[in-house]
Amino acid sequence: MNIVDWFIDRFRLKSAHRGIFERDIPEGINYFYCFGGIAFTSFLLCFVSGLFLSLYYVPSEKEAYLSIQRIHEDVNLGKLIRGIHKWSANFLIVSIMIHSFRVFITKSYRPPRELNWIVGVFIFVVVMLEGFTGYLLPWDQKSYWATVVGTNIAGSIPFIGQTLLLIIRGGYDVTGITLIRFYSLHVLWFPLIVVILLWAHFHMIKKLGVSKPL
C-alpha cells in the first residue's frame, strides 16, 4: 500500500466521498442541471478569494479605499485575487438565476421539494444582500452613491422604512459606521447564513434525490 492509498484508507476517504458525492441521477437530465453545481463552485471561489482579500482590506473610513489600492498595486497576486472575487460573485448570481429558472421550468418546486424551493429563495435573497454589502467596501464614489440609493429604497418601505434605514446605515447618513456594519455583514453574518442554508439545501437534495425530468 503506498502512502496515498494508506491515507485514503485510514481517513475513510472513499466512504466519505461516496456519502457526499455519489447518488442516483435520473435518466434524461441535461446540462441545465449543472447550474446548481456551478453556483456552488462559484460560491467556493468567492469564499476562498474573500479569505485572502480580508488579510489586506481595512474596513475604515480613512483606510478602505487606500487598502483596495494597495491590494491592486502592491500585494502579490492581489489584482488577480480581487478579479477572481468579483467575477465569481457575478458568476454566482447568474448561475443561481439559471438554476432557479431550470427548477421552475422542470416544475421541481412541487412536493416533496417545496421546502427546498423556499430554502432556495432565502439563499437567493441573502446572496443578493451579500453582493449589495460587498459593493460598498471599495469605498469609492460609485459604491458610496449606490449604497445611498439602495438604502433609500429600503427607507421608502411604509411604516418601518425610516427605522430600517437608521439601523442599516447606523445613523442618518452613509458613514464609516455604515462601512463597518456592511463589512461585518459581508464577511461574517451573510456567509454564515448562506452556509447554513446550503447545508439544508444539500441535505434535502441528498434525501429526496434530483427530480426526474418531466
- Considering only 19, 37, 83, 112, the residue that binds ligand HEM (CB under 6 A) is 37
Q: Does residue 99 bind ligand HEM (CB under 6 A)?
A: yes
Complete DSSP assignment for the chain: --HHHHHHHHTTHHHHHHHHH-----TT--GGGGHHHHHHHHHHHHHHHHHHHTTT---STTTHHHHHHHHHHTSTTHHHHHHHHHHHHHHHHHHHHHHHHHHHHTTTTSTTSHHHHHHHHHHHHHHHHHHHHHHHTT-SHHHHHHHHHHHHHHHTSTTTHHHHHHHHHTSSS--HHHHHHHHHIIIIIHHHHHHHHHHHHHHHHHHH-PPPP-
Distance CA(82)–CA(200), nearest Å, equals 29
Q: Does residue 46 bind ligand HEM (CB under 6 A)?
A: no
- Considering only 121, 166, 167, 192, the residue that binds ligand HEM (CB under 6 A) is 121
Query: Would you give the binding string for ligand HEM spanning residues 146-175, x where CB under 6 A is met?
Result: ------------------------------
- As measured in angstroms, the least distance from the Cβ of 61 to ligand HEM is 32
Nearer to ligand HEM, 49 or 100 (CB): 100
Closest residue to ligand HEM: CB criterion: 120
Q: Does residue 47 bind ligand HEM (CB under 6 A)?
A: no
Please identify, among the stretches 115-123, 147-155, 172-180, 181-189, the one whose residues bind ligand HEM according to the rule CB under 6 A.
Answer: 115-123
77: alpha, beta or left, given left = phi > 0 and alpha = psi -120 to 50? left
Q: Does residue 100 bind ligand HEM (CB under 6 A)?
A: yes
- As measured in angstroms, the least distance from the Cβ of 122 to ligand HEM is 8
Total residues at the site for ligand HEM (CB under 6 A)?
26
Q: Does residue 57 bind ligand HEM (CB under 6 A)?
A: no
Binding residues (CB under 6 A) for ligand HEM: these are: 33, 36-37, 39-40, 43, 96, 99-100, 103, 106, 108-109, 113, 116-117, 120-121, 123-124, 127, 198, 201, 205, 210-211
